[in-house]
Amino acid sequence: MTDDAIALAVGGVADRPVLEIWPRLQGKDLEEAINDFSWKLGAQDDAHISAQYRRHLVRQLGMRVIKEAK
């Protein structure tokens, strides 16, 4: 990975872990990319957690991880 890209891998949401790579986005552009990614994963409700909450976690934790990694 180069310094001009952002990579985020997520497991436990889709049927397999998924990696997404973006250019160095910031602000609203990054928020929109992570939101789109959370929907792209196709989260499903199950007995433990709702799809809505899974998407919320991807958005919140994804943004936190990216900010801490900078």
- Give residue for tokens 């952002």: 6
Phi–psi pair at 14, nearest 5 degrees: -95, -175
Q: Which residues pair with residue 7 across a beta bridge?
A: 21
What is residue 42's predicted lDDT score, i.e. its pLDDT? Answer: 96
pLDDT value of residue 2:
64
Mean pLDDT by 10 residues, the chain (70 residues): 87 95 96 98 95 97 93
Cα–Cα distance measured from residue 10 to residue 47, given in angstroms and rounded to the nearest whole number: 20
| Secondary structure letter of residue 8 according to DSSP | E
Number of domains composing the chain: 1
Range of the domain at 48: 5-69
Instruction: Calculate the dihedral angle through the C-alpha atoms of 33, 34, 37, 39, rounding to the nearest 10 degrees.
Output: -110
pLDDT computed for residue 59 by the predictor: 98
pLDDT in the model for residue 7: 96
